[in-house]
Amino acid sequence: MRGFSGKLVCLLLWLAALPASAQQRAMVPVVLDGETVKLATITYRPPGNGPFPTLIFHHGSTGSGTDLKLFAVPYEPVPLIDWFVRRGFAVVLPSRRGRGGSQGRYDEGFEANPSAGYSCDPERSLPGADRALRDIDAITDAILAQPFIDRSRFVVGGQSRGGILAIAWSGRHPELPQAVINFVGGWSSTRCSRASFVNGTLFKRGVAFGKPTLWLYGENDPYYSLSHSRANFAAFQAAGGKGSFHEFVPANGIIGHRIATQPDLWSGTVEAYLAERGLPAKAR
């Protein structure tokens, strides 16, 4: 029995160290462009009934946009989710139209022949970003209406395209989020000759947020070089945007575009930012 009890204690300690399990996978009906569609959400919650401070975290693209199998895969960065849940946050991961199990057509700036992937033409890529922002408008209203969420302690963030969308969206609704966290954000990759124009245009939309934002980038990012991202941030600041830009060196073999899943790199930086914004920062 003693051996069994010891094993049970070890098992309980191991379970306590695991990330919070997904509490809910839901299909949320919203009205977009005149039709009702259901958008998929994944919600993680800490123990208790809330209301909880909440992070709504937005996904990026699918690389080149040519692999249709990737459209259906939900974005679920468990290390990042766990980091926030351990600090008392609920974390909600919505998928935009046509992504991650959501209904509707995925149409965020493709070429005229969608099989060719994402377009570099601003006349196609920027309307694709506008479409994504309409999805975020709709799903955010639905998420913030949930009784377990503390609207006064709401953080919006995102990875890659989700990061630039978080910045741009905060300028549309400066009254809603208390903090904005951008992980390796950008819309058009630097393979596009007009990436600086497209990304600069979208980032500047976040200037109207008027409060500090947090920009986190990594070395060896094949989509957004550090020099490109520094220039985006400088243009954002020159237009009146507030925030801080931080660079990290990921572990060997990990590209800089994946730093959201490496909390050991950015934990102290994000803790300091959340504390400055009056939000929970230390793990419980």
pLDDT band at 21 (very low <50, low <70, confident <90, very high): low
pLDDT band at 65 (very low <50, low <70, confident <90, very high): confident
Chain segment 186-202, per-residue pLDDT in tens: 999 999 999 999 999 99
Instruction: Please say if the pLDDT value at position 12 is more than 80.
Output: no
**Angle at which helices 195-204 and 161-172 cross, to 10°:** 40
Structural domain boundaries, residue 54: 22-276
Reading across the β-sheet that carries 35-44, which strands appear in turn? Answer: 22-32, 35-44, 90-94, 52-58, 149-159, 179-183, 213-218, 243-248
Closest CA to 260 of 221, 228, 211: 221
Asked whether residue 142 is assigned to any structural domain, the reply reads: yes
Asked whether residue 258 is assigned to any structural domain, the reply reads: yes
Asked whether residue 11 is assigned to any structural domain, the reply reads: no
Residue 277 CA to residue 263 CA, distance in Å, equals 19
pTM, to two decimals: 0.92
Distance of CA 140 to the CA centre of its chain: 13
Question: What is the tally of helices (H) and strands (E) in the chain?
Answer: 7, 8
Chain segment 108-157, per-residue pLDDT in tens: 999 999 989 899 999 999 999 999 999 999 999 999 999 999 999 999 99
Instruction: Please say if the pLDDT value at position 18 is more than 70.
Output: no
Residue 148 CA to residue 169 CA, distance in Å, equals 23
Chain segment 207-259, per-residue pLDDT in tens: 999 999 999 999 999 999 999 999 999 999 999 999 999 999 998 889 999 99
Distance of CA 55 to the CA centre of its chain: 9
Contacts of 201 (CB under 8 A, 6+ apart): 122, 126
Asked whether residue 2 is assigned to any structural domain, the reply reads: no
Residue 244 CA to residue 226 CA, distance in Å, equals 14
Asked whether residue 253 is assigned to any structural domain, the reply reads: yes
Residue 193 CA to residue 203 CA, distance in Å, equals 17
Asked whether residue 14 is assigned to any structural domain, the reply reads: no
Asked whether residue 69 is assigned to any structural domain, the reply reads: yes
Strand partners, 149: 52
Asked whether residue 138 is assigned to any structural domain, the reply reads: yes
Here the CATH number for the domain that contains residue 85 is: 3.40.50.1820
Question: How many structural domains is the chain composed of?
Answer: 1
Contacts of 224 (CB under 8 A, 6+ apart): 184, 185, 186, 189, 190, 199, 217, 257
